[in-house]
Amino acid sequence: MLQNELPRFEILSPESMATLDRGWRRIVSEIGVEFLSEEAHELFRQAGQRVEENIVYFDPEFLLEQLKLVPEQFEMQARNPANNVTIGGKNMVFSSVYGAPFVRDGDVRRDGTLGDFQNFCRLAQSFAAMDSVGGVVVEPNDASLDSRHLDMVFNAFTLTDKFIMGNVVTGENAADTIAMAEIVLGGRKSIEEKPFGYSLINCNSPLRWDDRMLDSLFVYCRAKQPVIVTPFLLMGAMSPVSIAATLAQQVAEAFSGIALTQLIRPGTPVIMGSFLSNIDMKTGSPQFGTPESAVGQYCIGQIARAYKVPFRAGGGLNASQLPDAQAAYESVMTLMPTFLAGANVVLHSAGWLEGGLVSCFEKYIIDIQILEQLIAEFQPIEFTDDDLAFDAHDEVRHGGHFLGAAHTMENFRDCFYRPWLSSSDNFERWTRNGSIDTAGRARAIYLDTLDKYEEPPMDEAIKAELVEYVAKRRVELDG
């Protein structure tokens, strides 16, 4: 797990931070936030907030009080304890693309299948940079709609030994996820102490929390499992065409959602989400890797730190239809700001294409390569006199080269990060090897990785119990 040891890139003046503060306070108190849940209304009313129809009007100070209950940092458990992660502080945790209905596999773009889902699990398990396969890495369209969450949780738990994400389609699905996590991780007490993973609760922005999402939020928070409370903001559509206005809205939505988590169960871990980009104002299409989304990320990091709450942002986002130059530059222009902002949780770290409609195998490999390079970049840096390697200069002196210097021979194995997708072959050698572009090389690596994949061992009794649970619930759900 990465500890991001470089400084945080903070671009907002105290005056701009004060402006944002005025902004969200006015939104929550004058416009309020809609919650489509009687249960939520009741909790907010009991806490002294004004509820009219479905709108909750907040005292900003109440929201800040609730925020103080949120743990600044917490641990999550994987079924292999070596893969446990800590959320918050300098830690950064990476999980895959989430929610894509389609898959791209070489030249073919088609509906995602359970087989694809399984293959993404295998890829996530194979690369140390990925802390989790995530949740709906691709929609398994060939599985029954009512029970496919069982398949996804089962496969994530058996094909990987990393932490997983919970299903949020219904409260019942959330309960199934928790039940299966209890089987794998040693019971309710165990996961209440160390959650099995996070789940993604999106706001129906602007300023509306839907019943379905809230149902899942209630289930997870009661079990003390963290949710990522995420305003879903494409500026121009779900928020005004202004970064400041969007950030004020984002804080209003996030703080109101977080407040609810703490009313349900005080001290429940929670992650402030951010999904912030903009639409093309001419066509209405979502755009990614934009200057505005990068600026938004820098700001969100600064805001989250000011309120001492772990936050999620970024990923390898792009609007490209292919794993080509645009996919790469937009992804890095989202992912580098993610690192600079110091996001604690990064969804969509690998595989995202076409604005999130497509999970792409080749892009998954490209993203892992990018991720590894950034992880190598954001390591602690401190220069000592040893690092000056004066003896090397003294040995080589003027106009020579360091290839055979003693200092080089001692350090060449691990002095630099060595990429495995990127090619620095000269043109002749690259041509001899078939003139294969980056996507083509990524394809070979993805297929080879699947080939070499080995399922991480699982206790037979636990696996049997899991299989039994899935079978029983499948009958109940699919009839």
Q: Which of residues 62-91 bind its own copies (CB under 8 A)?
A: none
Q: Which two tokens stand for residue 224?
A: 């003390």
Identify the residue among 30, 451, 454, 460 touching its own copies (CB under 8 A).
30
Q: Is 390 in the site for its own copies (CB under 8 A)?
A: yes
Whole-angstrom distance, CA of residue 78 vs CA of residue 163: 4
**Kind plus residue range of the DSSP H or E element containing 278:** strand 275-279
Q: Is 462 in the site for its own copies (CB under 8 A)?
A: no
Identify the residue among 73, 113, 170, 204 touching its own copies (CB under 8 A).
204
Cβ closest to its own copies, residue 226 vs residue 273 = 273
Q: Is 212 in the site for its own copies (CB under 8 A)?
A: no
Q: Which of residues 100-139 bind its own copies (CB under 8 A)?
A: 109
Residue 266 has phi, psi (to 5 degrees) of -55, 140
Whole-angstrom distance, CA of residue 297 vs CA of residue 272: 13
Cβ closest to its own copies, residue 206 vs residue 351 = 206
Give yes or no for a contact between 372 and 129, defined as CB atoms under 8 angstroms apart.
Answer: yes
Q: Which of residues 417-436 bind its own copies (CB under 8 A)?
A: 417-419, 421-427, 430, 435
User: Is 452 in a helix, a strand, or coil?
Assistant: helix
Q: Is 306 in the site for its own copies (CB under 8 A)?
A: no
User: Is 227 in a helix, a strand, or coil?
Assistant: strand
Task: Give me the least distance between CB of 417 and its own copies, in Å please.
Answer: 5
Report the half-sphere exposure of 269 (CA within 13 A, side-chain side). 21
Q: Is 26 in the site for its own copies (CB under 8 A)?
A: yes
Task: Give me the least distance between CB of 444 and its own copies, in Å please.
Answer: 14
Cβ closest to its own copies, residue 65 vs residue 329 = 329
For the CA atoms of 323, 330, 353, 456, the dihedral, rounded to the nearest 10 degrees, stands at 80
Q: Which two tokens stand for residue 142?
A: 């060939």
Q: Is 29 in the site for its own copies (CB under 8 A)?
A: no
Cβ closest to its own copies, residue 1 vs residue 69 = 1
Q: Which two tokens stand for residue 137?
A: 């890495």
Identify the residue among 46, 61, 82, 398 touching its own copies (CB under 8 A).
398
Q: Which two tokens stand for residue 436?
A: 């294969």
Task: Give me the least distance between CB of 92 and its own copies, in Å please.
Answer: 15
Q: Is 451 in the site for its own copies (CB under 8 A)?
A: no
Task: Give me the least distance between CB of 222 and its own copies, in Å please.
Answer: 26
Q: Which of residues 232-291 bind its own copies (CB under 8 A)?
A: 235-245, 247-249, 278, 280-287, 289-291
Task: Give me the least distance between CB of 32 and its own copies, in Å please.
Answer: 8
Cβ closest to its own copies, residue 180 vs residue 300 = 300
Q: Is 9 in the site for its own copies (CB under 8 A)?
A: yes
| CA-based nearest residue to 211, from 249, 260, 250, 251 | 260
Q: Is 19 in the site for its own copies (CB under 8 A)?
A: yes
Q: Is 389 in the site for its own copies (CB under 8 A)?
A: yes
Strand pairing partners for 85? Answer: 76
Cβ closest to its own copies, residue 78 vs residue 238 = 238
Q: Is 52 in the site for its own copies (CB under 8 A)?
A: no
Task: Give me the least distance between CB of 161 and its own copies, in Å please.
Answer: 28
Q: Is 327 in the site for its own copies (CB under 8 A)?
A: yes
Identify the residue among 52, 403, 452, 461 touching its own copies (CB under 8 A).
403
Which stretch, 32-40, 140-148, 254-262, 343-351, contacts its own copies (CB under 8 A)?
A: 32-40
Give yes or no for a contact between 48 and 41, defined as CB atoms under 8 angstroms apart.
Answer: no
Q: Is 3 in the site for its own copies (CB under 8 A)?
A: no
Identify the residue among 193, 437, 468, 476 touching its own copies (CB under 8 A).
437
Q: Which of residues 156-185 bind its own copies (CB under 8 A)?
A: none
Token match 């069982």: residue?
Answer: 150
Q: Which two tokens stand for residue 198?
A: 């996070």
Number of residues that bind its own copies (CB under 8 A): 128
Which stretch, 134-142, 185-193, 328-336, 467-475, contacts its own copies (CB under 8 A)?
A: 328-336
User: Is 321 in a helix, a strand, or coil?
Assistant: coil
Question: CA 425 → CA 385, 420, 447, distances in Å?
Answer: 34, 12, 22
Whole-angstrom distance, CA of residue 308 vs CA of residue 249: 19
Identify the residue among 20, 67, 87, 92 touching its own copies (CB under 8 A).
20
Whole-angstrom distance, CA of residue 408 vs CA of residue 283: 55
Q: Which two tokens stand for residue 83?
A: 């893969």
User: Is 248 in a helix, a strand, or coil?
Assistant: helix
Identify the residue among 1, 69, 169, 392 touching its own copies (CB under 8 A).
392
Sign of torsion, CA 12 17 19 21?
Answer: positive
> What burial letters (b/e) apply to 391-422, b meaning 16+ CB within 10 Å?
eeeeebeeeeeeeebebbeeeeeeeeeeeebe
Residue 283 has phi, psi (to 5 degrees) of -110, -15
